[in-house]
Amino acid sequence: MMYEKLMKHVGEFGSCQKFIAVATCMGYYVIGLFLLYSVFILYTPPHQCSFGGANNFTSNGSILEIESNFDSSNENKTFSNSNLHCDDFVKKHDYNQPQERCRVTWKYNTEKGITSVATEFGLVCERAWMKPLIQSIQIGGVMAGSLLGGIISDRIGRRRTIIPVAIILVISDFLLVIMPSIYGIQTFIFFLGFASAILSTTYVVILHEYTPAHELMLLAFFQMSCCSFGYATMSLLQFLFPNWRHMTIATGVLASLMLLPTLFVSETVRWSLENQSTKKTFQLLKKIAEINKVDLSDTQVMTMLINAEETKRNESEKNERNSNYLKIQSKFTDTYLDLIKVPILRKRILALGFAWFAACLAYYAFGFNTDNLGISRYLGACLSALMEVPGDVISFFMVRRIGKVKTFVTVSLSSGILFLLTAGLQKVNVWAGAVSAMFGKLFSTIMYSLVLVSAAHFFPTSLRNQAFAVCYCIGRFGSLFSPFVVFLGENVFENFPFILMSVMVFAAAICFYLLPETSGRPLPSTMHDAVMLERYRLKFRCCKENKTRANVDEETRVMEI
């Protein structure tokens, strides 16, 4: 409560906080640009084998002509022998000479000037497996960034984390443009994922730590919507710049402009109170008061800090006399180990982590699969992104009405049912399947947004970014597997991605139900505050908020740790 008292004096939600909210939302727009970046640069246009010296092969003594029934007016049609491997082609026709492995290149439909990493480096046929590999490398960078970013941000501060990482993100994008080899592309795709993950987790934490509770949910969902608009913008950039290197340059320029406000974001007061000296916290509060046009003298600001320190000391002395508090704090070391050693935190990490895993699997598998919906790839990617905006709006009102837990369970079940319907409808009618899939994406977007905006609410300030990073990393395993899920759908069983997504989101609903309801409640500052959230878990037998547990003896709750 010390933070809330301080902010009431310097401006609870003044110009400073509003600027920071706008800066983090603009930063999240950039995250949206790179969210499914590999989908756009790895696009594989319709293609066919182009045999070097094909006229030297004969079938029954006559010159063999390679068929090409491709209709260039429709980008969704393919060549008659699309994806035909040389050896298969040789075996299909009865050649009168020994079957030798022919030299093969690929002819792509590039009449619209479309180029991609796949066309430039031939990531088709026996090299097709490299496409999901590169996508997974980006997700691997995201996982590494989420873990390392949590440690860095909690140790050196939010501001000193986001500024250098934003620079790394932009530089990696521009270096990607000049890479002449597939290995260089893989390297900088990794760094793009790495930097975007650190920015993503830190932007969320900054918004949560600077925004008052009554404004938080609205801004958190608006932040998610900005990410969706960034994703939708990539569809437009791909249409305007068919050459993937030109598109990459345009993306880097846009990202640079949108990240400029990040340079002026202040350190969060919550982090400063916990980790910096009184002098630095004084300077920060004075700066916020000036920006918010609150007339406070140096003496008033220092008096507030002294009072806050005294309040903190009194609370500490009171807590030291509280045996329950001591039992909790004695296990607390402010490291990742706390998330394993303390059972309540361990349970939350596992439940939230699996929910995030399922949400990421559904979100990314759908994003990587938009080219296979049977509609235009531009339309599919754009609709997939734009469906996230109403999803964020719906989730905001649902959370205000029934809370986060019930909202998550409802949308998870709805998403699972729609994905199952999609698997059946695709064979009946392409557009019916696409519509069902898009509504399934809408509900899975709400899942993804909810785990993202909820994760920070379950853990104390000193562990918040680390816990967020762990959950983020667990979730990214779902993202990591999603390219191969799509690959199996393209090569083994076309409905496999939608069936798997259904199963996973159903299981996620069960896991999220085990978490406490945190809507409308302040962020926990200490371990004691975080543990006491268990009072707000829902009952299984009637699905009503367990308000009566607020009066349960604390000793009982401590023993559950």
At 474-498, the pLDDT tens digits run 887 888 888 888 888 877 787 888 8
- Tell me what pLDDT residue 155 has: 84
Rounded average pLDDT over 548-558: 42
58 forms bridges with which residues in the sheet?
Answer: 63
Q: How confident is the model at residue 301 (pLDDT cuts 50, 70, 90)?
A: low
User: Could you tell me the pLDDT band of residue 312, with boundaries at 50, 70 and 90?
Assistant: low
Report d(CA 137, CA 173) in Å as an integer: 15
* Ranges of H-type helices in 123-212: 130-156, 159-177, 182-210
Q: Is the pLDDT of residue 401 over 50?
A: yes
Which pLDDT band holds residue 114 (cuts at 50, 70, 90)? confident
Q: Mean pLDDT throughout 304-323?
A: 61
**Candidate from 190-204, 252-266, 453-467 with smallest mean pLDDT:** 453-467
Give yes or no for residue 327 having a pLDDT over 60. no
The whole-number average pLDDT for the span 266-279 is 80
Q: Residue 309's pLDDT is what?
A: 65
Higher pLDDT, 431 or 408: 408
| Alpha-carbon span 39 to 35, nearest angstrom | 9
SS3 of residue 145 by DSSP: helix
Which residues, in sequence order, are CB contacts of 20 under 8 Å at separation 6+? 206, 207, 210, 265, 266
pLDDT, one tens digit per residue, over 348-357 is 888 888 998 9
Residue 196 and residue 96: Cα distance in Å, rounded?
56
Pairwise pLDDT comparison (87 vs 250), residue with the higher score: 250
Q: Which burial class, exposed, middle or buried, applies to 177 when counting CB atoms under 10 A from its CB (0-12, 13-18, 19+)? A: middle
pLDDT score of 216 more than 70: yes
Query: With 70 as the cut, is the pLDDT of residue 323 above it?
Result: no
Q: Encoding tokens for residue 463?
A: 């562990």
| Percent of the chain at pLDDT exceeding 90 | 14
Of the pLDDT bands very low, low, confident and very high (cuts 50, 70, 90), residue 147 is confident
At residue 78 the predicted structure's pLDDT band, cuts being 50, 70 and 90, is very low
Asked whether 195 and 172 are in contact (CB, 8 A), the reply is yes
User: What does the pLDDT look like over 133-142, one tens digit per residue?
Assistant: 888 898 888 8
Lowest model confidence (mean pLDDT) among 96-105, 236-245, 340-349, 528-537? 96-105
Residue with more model confidence, 27 or 58 = 27
Evaluate if residue 558 carries a pLDDT over 80: no
Q: Given pLDDT bands bounded at 50, 70 and 90, which one contains residue 277?
A: confident
CA neighbor of 133 nearest in space, from 473, 485, 484, 475:
484
Answer whether residue 167 shows pLDDT above 90.
yes
User: What per-residue confidence (pLDDT) applies to 67?
Assistant: 38
Query: 126 pLDDT exceeds 50?
Result: yes
Residues 253 and 286: their CA atoms lie apart, in Å, by 35
Q: What is the mean pLDDT of residues 19-39?
A: 90
Mean pLDDT of 137-154: 83
What is the reported pLDDT for 261? 93
pLDDT digits (tens, 9 = 90+) for 526-547: 777 777 878 777 765 544 444 4
Q: Which pLDDT belongs to residue 245?
A: 92
pLDDT higher than 50, residue 395: yes
Mean pLDDT, residues 353-362: 89
Cβ neighbours, 10 Å, residue 401: 10
Phi and psi, residue 430, nearest 5°: -60, -45
Look at residue 190 and tell me whether its pLDDT is greater than 90: yes
Q: What is the pLDDT of residue 95?
A: 36
- Band of residue 314 on the pLDDT scale cut at 50, 70, 90: low
Q: pLDDT band for position 164 (50/70/90)?
A: very high
Residue range 379-386: average pLDDT? 77
pLDDT band at 217 (very low <50, low <70, confident <90, very high): confident
Q: Please report, as a single letter, which amino acid is at residue 167.
A: I
Q: What are the backbone dihedrals phi and psi of residue 514, each rounded to the nearest 5 degrees, phi first? A: -80, -10
- Looking at every residue in the chain, the average pLDDT score rounds to 76
Return d(Cα 545, Cα 398) in angstroms, integer: 16
Angle formed by the axes of helices 159-177 and 15-35, nearest 10°: 30
Q: What is the pLDDT of residue 163?
A: 93
Q: Which whole number is the average pLDDT over 459-480?
A: 79
Range picked from 52-61, 152-161, 377-386 for highest mean pLDDT: 152-161
**pLDDT value at position 174?**
95
pLDDT > 90? residue 249: yes
CA 501 – CA 508 distance, rounded (Å): 10
